[in-house]
Amino acid sequence: MTEQQQLEEKTSFDGSKVKVLGETYEQGKPEKPENWREKLKNREDMIAYLKAGVR
């Protein structure tokens, strides 16, 4: 685990204490928009990406 990743203690559904990762994103704003279509090679990958993002 790197120095940036910090563990937080949370309560699970059954009431026990568990450790989970805290915030893992980088602070700031993106410099330019990302074109997600360039990263995905075929139609199935695009559909899987969209289904995961729409949940």
Residue-wise pLDDT tens digits, 25-52: 778 888 888 887 788 889 998 888 888 8
Looking at this protein, which amino acid is placed at residue 5?
Q
Q: How far apart are the C-alpha atoms of 13 and 36, rounded to whole Å?
A: 35
Please state whether the predicted TM-score (pTM) of the whole model is above 0.75.
Answer: no
pLDDT band at 55 (very low <50, low <70, confident <90, very high): low
Q: How far apart are the C-alpha atoms of 21 and 9, rounded to whole Å?
A: 9
Residue 7, pLDDT > 90, answer no
Residues 6+ apart with CB under 8 A from 32: none
